[in-house]
Structure formats: C-alpha cells, structure tokens
Amino acid sequence: MNTQVDPLAGLRDLHLPPPVIWWPPAPGWWGLLILTLAMAGIAWWWWRTARRRRYRKIAIVALTRLAASQDDASLVVPEIANLLRRVAIESCGRPAVARLSGTPWLEFLDRTGRTSQFSQGPGQVLGTPLYQPNLAADPAALYAVVKDWIKGHRPC
C-alpha cells in the first residue's frame, strides 16, 4: 500500500505574535521626550532673555557713535542725557522715570546702577540744566560712566 501522505498536511499555521502596542513607549522614548522638552525650555529662556537685553546692545552702539562723532562737551552731554533717559524708560517704564530730574534723577541712576558716579562723580553734569553755554564736563569720563550704567543697571 503505497499511500502517499502529504508531509505538509501535519504542519500548523504560523503563530503570529500579538501586535506591538504604541503605549507605553520604551524608556528611550521617554528620555528623548524629556531631552527635547528641556532643550525647548532652554531655547525659549535664551530667546526671551536676549530679547529683553537687546535694548542694552542698541544703546551701547548709539553711545559709541556719539563718542566717535563729537568732541564738544556742550553738544554731547544733552545727547547722552537723552540716550540715558530712553534706556531708563525702556528698562523701568515711563511712569517711574519720566518725571525724574535733577538730584532725584541722579539718585535713581546711582540706585539702579549700584554706583555713586552720578551723584558724586562725572555723571553730576546730568543733573544740571543741559543746554547752558559753558557746560563743564569730561566727555570721556561721562562716556565711561554711562556705558557702565547701561551694561550693568538693574531693571526696575
């Protein structure tokens, strides 16, 4: 009896594993998510900080142009005072700065700049009437004091 038996008839179908689920992700994906969120947070913080400090860079460039363009103190001091007031308004707001003049203005500059160069140093000239004919000021010393204030003042 020669019955041919099909050798493949006794095989069972392929047994497939269950489908892979997408949740919860593997630990590597969690790490990548945390790293991505941390990098996004750092980038946002850096962008926000750079944007808040941008006015300082612009003011330093304007002050450098003033220093290079004019040598006469009677012409330079009013422009420096104007620049300094614009920076202070940008930093602390118009209500806190616009009404200040004379000694209160110099005290404000000293307080926010953590210095005494405005009330007791070369910055005193900024508390006097700026358009008088013989304004005694040392432009180089005034540039240095104003530049230090712009770079290091505390916003209100």
More confidently predicted of 144 and 1: 144
Encode burial over 3-24: b for 16+ CB neighbours within 10 A, e otherwise: eeeeeeeeeeeeeeeeeeeeee
SS3 7: coil
The string of pLDDT tens digits covering residues 30-52 is 999 999 999 999 999 999 999 98
Q: How far apart are CA 151 and CA 10, in angstroms?
A: 86
Residue 106 included in any domain = yes
Confidence of residue 73 (pLDDT cuts 50, 70, 90): low
Q: What is the pLDDT of residue 72?
A: 67
Q: Is residue 138 part of a domain?
A: yes
pTM of the model: 0.72
Asked, for residue 110, whether it belongs to a domain, the answer is yes
Q: Does a structural domain hold residue 4? A: no
**Nearest Cα to 121, choosing from 138, 97, 104?**
138
Instruction: Give a yes or no: residue 36 inside a domain.
Output: no
Provide the domain count of the chain: 1
For 106, the domain range is: 54-152
Q: Give the pLDDT score at 2.
A: 62
